[in-house]
Amino acid sequence: MNEKMITLGKKRSVIRELFEYGKKRKALIGAENVFDFSIGNPSVPTPQAVTDAMKRLISETEPVALHGYTSAQGDFKVRRKIAESIKRRFDVDADPELIYLTCGAAASLTVTLKALINSGEEVIVPSPFFPEYKVFTENAGGRLISVPLRRPDFQLDIDAIKGAITDKTRAIIINSPNNPTGAIFSEERIKQLAAVLEDKQKEYKNDIYIISDEPYRELTYGADVPYIPKYYGNTVICYSYSKSLSLPGERIGYIFIPSTANNSGEMYAAVCGAGRSLGFVCAPSLLQYTVGECTETTPNSEVYRKNRDLLYGSLTDYGYEAVPPDGAFYLFVKSPEPDAAAFCERAKKYELLLVPSDDFGCKGYVRISYCVSTEQIKKSLPAFKALIEEYK
């Protein structure tokens, strides 16, 4: 047996651990009495257009065709529709032959990292970061180099990133809107990052890629999310419909390589090879056809906005410190004691399930996933108030 895999299998992520704990508590005292802010499972229903498209496909398509294998990189017509949508929305050139359909962002990332990384190469990741980046990077043979985001606004720290780049740096993973901070990286910062990477590519005569992990692209509350290929050629977009169309259990997303990337054809071949070597075969066919019908469907993020305003407003009133999130559905709150895990344990007394920031590569914060019902947030507020009172 592979020791690394045993360790990974035995030690669940802290998020999953808490999610499982929440399930047990709910069975014991009733779901309505547990304030479960642990996991990023969208609470907004899947848009009707998506359900309608699925029903139509099931009732009107010949089953063998509907459920059969597609091309490994995904059905061509679906890829063409996605390419058209990218062109229309972001005003960048998009070639369906450089789009690869995946089982969500996790698969987009594992395939991309496997495609780009050679053993021992480094992947810069601004921290705090989605904990699975470390698992995916190491599985591809790479080393994750964590570089803290700037405080207090959690924007990219360009000087720190510049200082971390070496001749072994192969990629930087950018996630905006960000999990866990809710920050959107500004256009100014993206331009500065692009300039630094261009210089470093010349200095080391190497390609350095931006891997843009974008499951939250559409979940924003006003600020624009810069589209990275407009600023930097050597980019790979890792997209997912999990959050935007509330489909996380169905597993569907894509990888998009802009034609401005150096040797984009070779990169695409590497992506196809990585998908093959990881045994993905093809993304789920029904879901491919469904998203092909729904490229213009946008999420209804009004509930998330309402939750964000209510939670941020109330918690800061009570004395918690947090940065107002611009997107995604997470609030990143400073722990009132240095040990965030100890604070989260104390929160459990009030049936509040919060995720300590340690596994996100950063100490002293907690993540609150506010993709729950607004009722649930209202009901949880006295618990948050009582919890912070313990520290006064």
Per CB under 6 A, 248 contacts ligand PLP: yes
CA separation for the pair 374, 257 (Å, rounded): 38
Place of tokens 């890629």: 209
Query: What order do you get walking across the sheet with 235-240 strand by strand?
Result: 99-102, 253-256, 235-240, 209-213, 169-175, 122-127, 143-148
Query: CB–CB of 149/174 below 8 Å?
Result: no
Show the binding pattern over residues 152-191: x = contacts ligand PLP (CB under 6 A), - = does not: -----------------------x---x------------
Q: Whose Cβ is closer to ligand PLP: residue 112's or residue 179's?
A: 179
Q: Whose Cβ is closer to ligand PLP: residue 174's or residue 208's?
A: 174
Q: Whose Cβ is closer to ligand PLP: residue 111's or residue 315's?
A: 111
Q: Could you say which of 253, 258, 275, 356 contacts ligand PLP (CB under 6 A)?
A: 253
Per CB under 6 A, 128 contacts ligand PLP: no
Q: Could you say which of 186, 220, 242, 285 contacts ligand PLP (CB under 6 A)?
A: 242
| Alpha helices (runs of H) in the chain, residue ranges in sequence order | 3-10, 14-29, 48-60, 63-67, 76-90, 104-116, 132-139, 158-164, 187-204, 264-277, 285-293, 302-318, 340-348, 374-389
Query: CB–CB of 353/37 below 8 Å?
Result: yes
CB of 11 to ligand PLP, least distance (A): 18
CA separation for the pair 388, 392 (Å, rounded): 7
Per CB under 6 A, 130 contacts ligand PLP: yes
Q: Whose Cβ is closer to ligand PLP: residue 201's or residue 288's?
A: 288
Comparing C-alpha atoms, which of 272, 282, 210 is closest to residue 252? 282
Per CB under 6 A, 287 contacts ligand PLP: no
Q: Whose Cβ is closer to ligand PLP: residue 248's or residue 327's?
A: 248
Q: Whose Cβ is closer to ligand PLP: residue 248's or residue 299's?
A: 248
Residue 100: Cβ-neighbour burial (10 angstroms; 0-12, 13-18, 19+): buried
Q: Whose Cβ is closer to ligand PLP: residue 258's or residue 327's?
A: 327
Tell me the one-letter amino acid at 23: K
CB of 130 to ligand PLP, least distance (A): 4
CB of 88 to ligand PLP, least distance (A): 23
Please count the other Cβ atoms lying within 10 Å of the Cβ belonging to residue 169. Answer: 22
Site stretch for ligand PLP (CB under 6 A), options 98-106, 223-231, 265-273, 337-345 = 98-106
Q: What residues between 99 and 118 interact with ligand PLP by CB under 6 A?
A: 104-106
Ramachandran region of residue 279, left (φ > 0), alpha (ψ -120 to 50) or beta?
left
Per CB under 6 A, 213 contacts ligand PLP: yes
Helix (H, G, I), strand (E, B) or coil at 41: coil
CB of 40 to ligand PLP, least distance (A): 4
Q: Please give the size of the binding site for ligand PLP, defined by CB under 6 A.
A: 13
Q: Whose Cβ is closer to ligand PLP: residue 18's or residue 387's?
A: 18
Contacts with ligand PLP by CB under 6 A lie at 40, 104-106, 130, 175, 179, 213, 215, 240, 242, 248, 253
